[in-house]
Structure 1
Amino acid sequence: MVMPDDSDSFRLRVVSEALRLFAEKGYEATTVDEIAEAAGISRRTFFRQFRAKEDVVFADHEILLAQAAEFLSAEHDDPWDAVCDAAMLVFERFSHWRDVARRRYAVVHAVPALRDREIVTVFRYERLFVEYLRDRLPGVSDLALVQFAALVTATHNYVLRRMVRDESAPTSQDLREVLSEVRATFRDGVPARPRTEDDVVVAVFARGTAPRRVAELIERRLNGDH
């Protein structure tokens, strides 16, 4: 028997064995006793670590949510950047646990109840980011905080799914570059405003107006002077 050490590596070992059995036998057909035996632990030990069979499927998410929360609890110069860095941390951990992520993807998409649980789990990352930003940026519009957290989470999840499916195998650098673009859409905590008619200046001058005078008047108008 392998004695548990309450470490993340122990829990991930159980998760890996459980997902292997789910893939081979099916989620419903696999019992807790079979998971415990494959992981080299007792049934009692299993239930000390996991409340139910369903919890095993998402145990790595629980680990990563805790690590992301710990990361955000530290001091950061820029809270917006910190959220992007937290998303990077999650992605890089999943990169190391790619086999586990791939097995879970296959199992979850075969079991409707697990798909529902996955949606809830993913939302917890977004909620973590929103609550962090609310605490660090009390003067910023709540809508902007929610928009930013949702955009970071959705971007991370999209790239992660591509990695799990092995579609061109995106890397951490790929995600970092995309998140940099996401960050750039928020200027001083405000989503970049799309160009409108108000952003276009139409200038009409009498024929013969001196070029220097044209340039001066256009510059004043662009600067908001009237």
Structure 2
Amino acid sequence: MSADAADGDPVGFRMQVVAESIRLFAEHGYEATPVDAVAAAAGVSRRTLFRQFRSKEDLIFADHEELLARVASRLEANADDPWWAVCAAAEEVFAHFADHRDLAVGRYRVVAQVPALRDRELVTTYRYQRLFEESLRRRMPDVPRVRVVAYAAAVTGAHNHLLRQMVRGDSAATAAVLHDELRRIHATTQPRERAEATAVTVVTHGADLSADEIADIVRKRLTWHAVP
């Protein structure tokens, strides 16, 4: 891939860089692999590589920048339910890694061996959560911030757990399972009818009781606090 190709197809270029860096880091080790080797494998010059990426760590997480931009754009454009918009964005992230599972698995193995990359992964994960929080705060400014943070954390946590299970080879960690879990989280944002509206109270009593005595039994059954 030439420098012109890198400028003309930035998404393809980033995916190429991620794939080659993961392959080389897995084969030779992160510290032992020079940036020049990644540039050569990606078919570009060292100068072109550093024009696109700020550091060696950026190479293995290059696709995240494009994905973060897509998520931000989706959240900005989605005019539907703000709560579900966040869930839909999380599903898009999961779909990306499911479509590039080999890449995700390779990165997981490399990152697990390098503390600096593990730290970078945590920071990257939090960037998605921050996008979710910012979208919710922007679209629903009257919602308490603690609720926004809790919701964004729940969506991010469910996504990250299933993503980790997926790259570890768990066949049960699927997009459908994520969708169901996100539906459950989303349900917590919906108003609930008062339980009294659908409650049924059954009262049994002796045939010899008076109407006032029966009414007193019913009153006690329908009162949540102690009746004197």
Structures share a fold, TM > 0.5?
Answer: yes
Deviation of the 1:187 alpha carbon: 3.0
Q: Aligned letter for 2:126? A: F
Q: Aligned pair in 2 of structure 1 residues 42, 215: CA closer, same or farther (>3 Å)?
A: farther
The separation in 2 between residues aligned to 1:84 and 1:216, in whole angstroms, is 45
Q: Aligned pair in 2 of structure 1 residues 53, 39: CA closer, same or farther (>3 Å)?
A: same
Q: What residue number does 2:91 align with?
A: 88
Percent identity over the alignment is 51
Q: What residue number does 1:120 align with?
A: 123
Residue 145 (str. 1) matches residue 148 (str. 2): yes
The separation in 2 between residues aligned to 1:108 and 1:59, in whole angstroms, is 14
The separation in 2 between residues aligned to 1:69 and 1:209, in whole angstroms, is 68
1:173-225 deviation line (CA, Å, top 9, x unaligned)? 1110111111112334x9xxxxxxxxxxxx99997365974796478647xxx
Residue 182 (str. 1) matches residue 160 (str. 2): no
Moved more, 207-216 or 33-42: 207-216
Contact kept, 8 Å, 1:205 with 1:214, in 2: the verdict is no
Q: What residue number does 2:107 align with?
A: 104
Q: Aligned letter for 1:122? A: T
Q: What residue number does 2:173 align with?
A: 170
Contact kept, 8 Å, 2:17 with 2:62, in 1: the verdict is no
Moved more, 169-178 or 115-124: 169-178
Q: Aligned letter for 2:27? A: E
Q: What residue number does 1:74 align with?
A: 77
Runs of 4+ in 1 over 4 A off after TM superposition: 203-207, 209-212, 218-222
Q: What residue number does 2:133 align with?
A: 130
Q: Aligned letter for 2:75? A: L
Q: Aligned letter for 2:49? A: F
Q: Aligned letter for 1:114? A: L
Residue 12 (str. 1) matches residue 19 (str. 2): no
Q: What residue number does 2:49 align with?
A: 46
The separation in 2 between residues aligned to 1:78 and 1:219, in whole angstroms, is 40
1:136-165 deviation line (CA, Å, top 9, x unaligned)? 011111100000000000000000011111
The separation in 2 between residues aligned to 1:83 and 1:28, in whole angstroms, is 37
1:2-41 deviation line (CA, Å, top 9, x unaligned)? 3322421111011101100000000000011100111111
Query: RMSD of the alignment, in Å?
Result: 2.7
Q: Aligned letter for 1:63? A: E
Q: Point out where structure 1 has 5 or more consecutive residues left out of the alignment.
A: 191-202
Q: Aligned pair in 2 of structure 1 residues 158, 215: CA closer, same or farther (>3 Å)?
A: farther
The separation in 1 between residues aligned to 2:177 and 2:183, in whole angstroms, is 10
Aligned length: 210
Aligned residue for 1:76, secondary structure, equals coil
Q: Aligned letter for 1:150? A: A
The separation in 1 between residues aligned to 2:84 and 2:44, in whole angstroms, is 41
Larger Rg: 2
Q: Aligned letter for 1:175? A: L
Residue 154 (str. 1) matches residue 121 (str. 2): no
The separation in 2 between residues aligned to 1:209 and 1:114, in whole angstroms, is 78
